[in-house]
Amino acid sequence: MPVTPKVLINNIYITTGLNQKLHADELTIIDKFTVTNVSSSEASLTVALSNLSQPEDGIIISNRIVAPNETYTCPEITGHVLKANGRVHAQSSIADALILRASGRELTA
């Protein structure tokens, strides 16, 4: 089974709704998941992992406060596996405050 390291989510702002940020085409392992608050106000972060279910059913991080200029490495997400067609959803309490980047490995048959 070939393994391809890749950037899963490349420096995107997290919006205020619980919106899809990644759709995994293949079996995917999340190795690094980093959120940085670039605003001057604290913002809360919510992240969900789901496979064909409602995003709210897969919440892993719920309303975690990220301070201004803080980078949070989201240990709750690191190491999780997404099945093919799995999704990552994220939400911020403030638009254009939190930037998300994720890296991992994609496994293909």
Average pLDDT, integer, range 21-42: 96
The count of domains in the chain is 1
Confidence (pTM): 0.93
Amino acid letter, 23: H
**pLDDT per residue as tens digits for the range 4-25:** 999 999 999 999 999 999 999 9
**Cβ-contact 94, 30 below 8 angstroms:** no
Amino acid letter, 43: A
pLDDT of residue 56: 78
**pLDDT per residue as tens digits for the range 66-91:** 999 999 999 999 999 999 999 999 99
- Separation between Cα atoms, residue 37 and residue 13, nearest integer Å: 10
Q: Band the pLDDT of 51: cuts 50, 70, 90.
A: confident
pLDDT at 1 over 90: no
pLDDT at 92 over 80: yes
User: Alpha-carbon Rg of the chain, whole angstroms?
Assistant: 13
| Residue with token string 């064909």 | 52
Residue whose C-alpha is closest to residue 30's, from 46, 47, 43:
47
User: What CATH number did the domain enclosing 47 receive?
Assistant: 2.60.120
Boundaries of domain holding 38: 3-107
